[in-house]
Structure 1
Amino acid sequence: MNSLRRAEAAFAAELQRARPELTDRWLHELPGARAAVLGRLWRSLIVEQLPVDRARIAGPARRAYDTGRDEPGLALRVDGRPQTHPAAVLEALGMPGSATLRAEVEHSVVSLALSRAAAVPAGTGDLLSAERSVVDGHPYHPGCRSRPGFSVAEQLAYAPEFGQQVSLALLEVPARESVLVGDWPSALRGRDSILLPVHPWQLVHVPGLPGLPAEAARLEAAPLMSVRTLAPADGGPHLKTSLSLRMTSAVRDISGASVRNSAALSDLLSALVAKLDGSLQITRNLAAAAALRDGVPSPDLAVLVRESPRRYAPPGTRIVPLAALAAHPPRLADPAAWLAALSRLLFPPLLQLLDWGAALEAHGQNVLVALDPADHPVLLVYRDLADIRVSPSRLARAGLAQHAVSGHVVDDRPEVLRRKLLGSLLGGALAALVAGLGGGDRHREDGLWSAVAEAAREAAVVLGDPDDRRALLADPVPVKALAAMRLEGRPPGDQWTDVPNPLADPDASRTGR
C-alpha cells in the first residue's frame, strides 16, 4: 500500500477494519477506478468552460459522448508530465476553487473501487437486478461515486450495487405536526399520527429529527439506483426518502415545496400523458409527507410515495432503466435498428410534451423501457417528477390547465425547457447508449447516431416552435457542466455547457485532443 495517496490509504484502513476480506480485491480494482474517474474528468476539461489553460494539458482523443473505455494506466499530461490520478491532475493544474472537486474525485475513486470490488453480480433480468447493475454510477460525472457522507460500512449497507436490504425506521409523527399530501398508505397511519419511513443513515447523522420511533416498527426495502429511493420487500409503491448528504452534485433531501407540489405535478403529467398514444407512462406520486420542525416542513424528514414502474410493464416484458442498458448493452443482431426502434418510442411523446409545456428530465435513471422477450422496446415509463420544468404559457397556448403546479419547476423560458429535455435525453441517455452499443467503434457509433437522427427528424413535426426544432436537430446540445458545478465560488444550482449536436452531423460528436 506504499503507493497509495493519503485519501486512499485512509479508506484502505477503514475498509480493513470494516471488511478486511475485501481489501485485496479493492486494491486490485483501484487502478481501474482511477482511470475511470480520470476519463470523466478529462471529458469535463474538454467540454466545460473551466478556469484553466487547456494548452497545459493533453490526453487521448475523446468525443463528448464517450464512456467506459478507460483502462488502468490512462494518463493525462500536465505541463508534459504524466498524471494517472484525477486529483493529481487537479493539483498540478492549480485550478482556482477546485479544493472541493479534488476531495470529491478522491472519494469517487476509492468508492468506485469498492463498488467494483464488492458488487453483487446482477443482470438485467428484473427491475431490481437492473438497478443494481449500474455499478459505476453516472457515466460522465467525475464524482460518479462520490459519497463522502457514507463510511465504508455504510456504503456496503446502503448502496444498491451491494445487494443488501435496508431496514427503514418508522417515526411516529402527530398528524397536526406534519404536512400530508395525497393518499397516505393505511399501513403507515395511526389514529392521530402518521408513520414516516426514515433512512437509517438519517437517524444516526441528522440530529433532532422530530417524531418518535414507532414500537419495533421497521420496513425492509431494497435501495434502487438513486440510493435514497427504495422498493419495499413486500411489494407496493416505492419510497423516496430524505438522505441529507451530497452524492454527485446535490444534497438528497426533500423540500417542503416538493412535498406540497407532488400531487399537482402528478395530476398535470397524468392529464398530459393521457392525451398521448399510450407509449409513455409516468409513475405517479401517490402521497407525500414531511414532519414539521418549528412550523416548517423538515427537508430531513420527508417521504414521497411513488408508483413502481413495474405497474406499467405489459405481460411478458421486463422493465429496465436506460442507464442499465447503456452499462450492459443487450446482445443485438442489429444495434442500429434496435436503437432506431427505441428512438421512435422516445422522441414522439417527449417532444409533444415539450411542445405542450412539460420538459422532462429524461436521463438514463429516470427513463425506463419495457422490453419483450426478444429485447424489442415496447413501452416507456418515466419516474421522478420533482425536477421537470413546466411552462404556463405553453400549456395555455395548447389549451391545457396547469393543475396548480408552483415553485421552481415553473419556468416559461424556452432555453430552460430545451436544455432540461435535450441535455438529459441527447446529452445523457442516448449519448450513453450510443457509447455502450458502439463500443468505441467510431464507424458504428456514427451509424447509431444516424438512426437516432432519423427518428428525431420524423418526430420533430410535432414541435410548433421552429426554434425547438433547430435546438433538437442543429444547435449545440446543452449539458450540465458537472465539474464546474463543484468549484467553490460558483452560484448554486445547475450550470451548463454546450457540446456538438450529433444529430446535425455525425462528425460533430468528435471532440478531444
Structure 2
Amino acid sequence: MHRPHTAEDEVAADLAAVRPELVPRFAAELPGARAAVLTRLWRALAHEPLPWVRRREPTGDGLTLWLADGRRLHGPAADPYATDAYVTAVELDGTPYDRPEPLMTALAVPHATGFAVELGHSTASLALSRAGQPAPSAQWPGTDWEWEQRVVDGHPYHPNCRSRPGFSVAEQLAYGPEHRPVVRLGLLPVPERECLVSGAWPGGLRDGDRLLLPVHPWQAAHVLKRGGEATLDAHPLMSLRTLALPGGPHVKTALSARLTSSVRDISVGSVRSAAALSAFGEELAARTDGLLHMTRTLGAATAHSPDLAAVLRESPQVYAGPGERVVPVAALPCTGLPGSPAWLAAFARLALGVGLRLLELGVALEAHGQNLLVVLSSRGEPVRLVYRDLADIRVGPARLARHGIALPELPGRILTDDVTALRRKLFGSLVAGALAATAGSGPALAAALAAAVPDLPDSPDLAALREEPVPAKALTLMRLTPGHAGDLWTALPRPPAVDTI
C-alpha cells in the first residue's frame, strides 16, 4: 500500500530535477523539519482559543486536550515560549502522529483540509531550507543581508514558518534568503504622470519622464506577466520581498504571494502615507535619548496598483558606529549572545524600556524579530535599537495629545485609543515574539524579565505586563478562520516567576 502523495514527495521529485546533489540532505532534514512544525502546531493547540477544544488538562506525562467531539489529543507539556523542536509525536485517541499534515487532516475541524496542505508545504520547504546550509561559521557576517540570511527556519512560532505556496522548488532556491541567491530585480518603466510618489524618487531609478519601478522576478512572471527593460542585482532579506542593494538602500517590492499567513502587498494608501509616517517615526525616535533609530523611507512609488509598487528604505547599517554591528533580533540566536543571562537581561531592559517609552507617548511598535534590530558594541553589548517598517504600528491620538505631539495625516487603520489594542501590538510582538524567541524558553524569558523589569519606570502599561497574561497572535486560529478580517489573539501564561517581579 502506497503512502499518499505529499508535499515532501513533490519537493523531493522537483529537487532531483534541479539540484540532485541536495536530495540526500533534504531527506535527512525531514524528521527535524516535521518536529519543528509539529512543535509550533502543538503550541497553538495547547494555547490558542480554538472553539473545538473543550478543555486542557495537565497530566503527569504532559498535556491532554479534550475535543468537542469527545476525542482526546495528548502530547508533552507545552512551553509557549520554547523555540526548540521538542515535539516528535502527539496522540489522537491513542494513534500517534509524527507529522503535522496528517494530524490536522485527522482532526477534521472546519478548514482543516486547506491548513493541512499548508503545513505539509511548510515542513517540506523547511527541510529544503535546511538542506542547503553551509557548515556553521563562528565568523560574524560582514553585510546586512548575510545577517538576515542566517535566519533559516522562518517564524519561530508560526506552523507556516516556511510555507511558500505558489513557489516552485527552483523559485525557492532562486529567491529564498536562506539559499543566499542574488536576485535580479526588473526595472519596469512607468510614466511618472501615471504614478503616485511619496518622498523623493532617486534619479538613478528614472528614465526621462518615466520612473523605473523595481519588480521582483516572481511578481513579473506570475502576476504582471512582464519584466523590466533593465535589471538590478539585489540580495533577499528575511521578508523575501525586501532586498538589499549592495552599498545602497533596501527595496521593498510588491510580491502578491501568501507568505506565512497573508498576502502582503504595497497598498496605494501605504505609499501615499510613506513620507509622513517616516517623518513621524524620526520625531518619535528623537524622544528616546538616542536609544532608538527609525530607518527612513527614502521614496515610495506605485502605479496606482498594489501589484506594481516599491518602497526604498535606508539600510539599518547606516546607524552602526565604528566597531558596531546592527543585527536583526531574529538572528541573535546565531550569535550565541543570548546564552548569557546577563546579556539577555540587558537586551530585555533596553528593548522594553524603549518600547514602553513609545507606548506611553502613544505609539505601539510591531517589534518582532524581523522589524527590530539591535546595535551591538565591539564587545557584543546591546547599546541601541533600530526599527524598520512602520506600516503596522498602532498610534493612540489621545496619548499623543497628552504629550503635546501633533498627529500627522496617517492611515485610519493604524489609529486607535483602545488600550488593549495598543498593548497587544507591543507586548504580542516584543514579549511573546522578539524577547521570547531570543530567550528560547519560558524559564529563560522569565529570568530576563525578572532582571530587567524592576529597573524600568513604573507605568500602567508596565503594571499590565507584570499582572496580566501575555497577549500573542493566535496564528493557527487565524489560518482556520479564513473569513475573519484582522488579527485574532490569545493570552499566554506569564512566564514562570514573573508573578514575583
Structure 2 length-normalised TM: 0.92
Q: After TM superposition, list the pairs within 5 Å mapping 1:114-513 onto structure 2.
A: 114-120=128-134, 124-126=140-142, 127-207=144-224, 213-214=228-229, 217-233=230-246, 235-291=247-303, 297-326=304-333, 328-330=334-336, 335-435=340-440, 446=443, 448-461=445-458, 463=459, 466=460, 468-502=461-495, 505=498
In 2: Cα distance, 1:505 partner to 1:368 partner: 25
Partner of 1:109: 123
Structure 2 Cα separation of the partners of residues 140 and 481 of structure 1: 10
1:99 counterpart = 2:113: yes
Query: Once the 2 structures are TM-superposed, how far is the Cα of residue 186 of structure 1 from its aligned partner?
Result: 1.1
**Counterpart amino acid of 1:270?**
E
Q: TM-score, normalised by structure 1?
A: 0.90
**Separation in 1 of the partners of 2:308 and 2:457?**
42
Q: Amino acid of the residue matched to residue 450 of structure 2?
A: A
Structure 1 residues 57 and 368, CA gap change in structure 2 (3 angstroms) = same
Q: How far apart, in 2, do the equivalents of 1:96 and 1:21 lie?
A: 40
Q: RMSD between aligned alpha carbons?
A: 2.1
SS in 1 for 2:367: coil
Cα distance in 1 between the residues matched to 2:188 and 2:220: 10
Shift in Å, 1:2: 6.4
Q: Is the 8 A contact 2:398 2:417 kept in 1?
A: yes
Q: SS of 1:8's equivalent?
A: helix
1:489 is displaced (CA, Å) by 4.4
Contact 1:353/1:359, CA 8 A, preserved across alignment:
yes
State the Cα distance separating 1:121 from its structure 2 match: 5.1
Cα gap change, 1:40 to 1:171, in 2 (>3 Å): same
The match for 1:9 is 9
CA distance in structure 1 between the partners assigned to 2:155 and 2:135 by the alignment: 19
Please report how far the alpha carbon of residue 44 of structure 1 lies from its aligned counterpart in structure 2 after TM superposition.
0.5
Contact 1:254 1:300 in 2 (8 A): yes
Is the contact made by 1:49 and 1:484 (CA closer than 8 Å) also made in structure 2? yes
CA deviations over 1:361-392 (Å, ceiling 9, x no partner): 01111111111232111121111111111111
Question: Which secondary structure state, in structure 2, belongs to the residue aligned with residue 51 of structure 1?
Answer: coil
Shift of 1:6: 2.4
AA in 2 matched with 1:134: V
Kindly indicate whether the alpha-carbon contact (under 8 Å) linking 1:107 and 1:145 is maintained by their aligned counterparts in 2.
Answer: yes
Cα gap change, 1:190 to 1:67, in 2 (>3 Å): same
Aligned residue number for residue 64 of structure 1: 80
Report how far residue 472 of structure 1 moved.
Answer: 1.5
Other-structure match for 1:511: none
What letter corresponds to residue 106 of structure 1 in structure 2?
A: G
How far apart are the structure 2 equivalents of 1:471 and 1:358? 16
Secondary structure at the aligned position of 2:342 is classed as helix
For CA contacts below 8 A with separation 6 or more, give which structure has more relative contact order: 1
Whole-Å separation in 2 of the counterparts to 1:448 and 1:232: 36
Q: Distance in 2 between matches of 1:419 and 1:373?
A: 34
Distance 1:280 1:145 in 2: 30
Could you list the per-position Cα deviations for residues 407-444 of structure 1 after superposition, in whole angstroms to 9, with x for gaps in the alignment? 31112211111100000011001111111xx6xxxxxx
Tell me how far apart the structure 2 counterparts of residues 220 and 146 of structure 1 sit (CA, whole Å).
25
Residue in structure 1 matched with residue 61 of structure 2 by the alignment: none
Q: Aligned partner of 2:141: which letter?
A: G
Unaligned runs of 5+ in 1: 292-296, 439-444, 509-513
Report deviation, 1:5. 4.6
Matched residue SS, 1:386: helix
- Conserved in 2, the CA contact under 8 Å of 1:168 and 1:199? yes
Change in CA separation of 1:471 and 1:184 when aligned onto 2, cut-off 3 Å:
same
Q: CA deviation at 1:255?
A: 0.6
Q: Which residue of 2 aligns with 1:88?
A: 102
| Matches of 2:366 and 2:228, distance apart in 1 | 36
**One-letter identity of the residue aligned with 2:51:** P
State how far apart, in whole Å, the 1-side matches of 2:482 and 2:324 are: 48
**Residue deviations 1:350-369, cap 9 Å, x none?**
11110111110011111111
C-alpha separation in 2, matches of 1:251 and 1:357? 28
Contact 1:485 1:492 in 2 (8 A): no
Shift of 1:336: 1.5
Q: Contact 2:443 / 2:496 at 8 angstroms: preserved in 1?
A: no
* Contact 1:52/1:93 (<8 A) preserved: no
Q: Does the aligned pair in 2 maintain the 1:323–1:364 contact within 8 Å?
A: yes
* Structure 1 position 507, deviation (Å): 9.6
Take 1:137 and 1:264, find their aligned partners in 2: how far apart are those partners?
31
Q: CA deviation at 1:206?
A: 0.3
Name the SS of the counterpart of 1:146 in structure 2.
coil
Is the alpha carbon distance of 1:503 and 1:309 closer, same or farther for their aligned partners in structure 2, counting shifts above 3 Å? farther
Relative distance call for 1:19 and 1:172 in structure 2 (3 A) is same
Query: CA 1:120–1:409 in structure 2 vs 1: closer, same or farther (change >3 Å)?
Result: farther
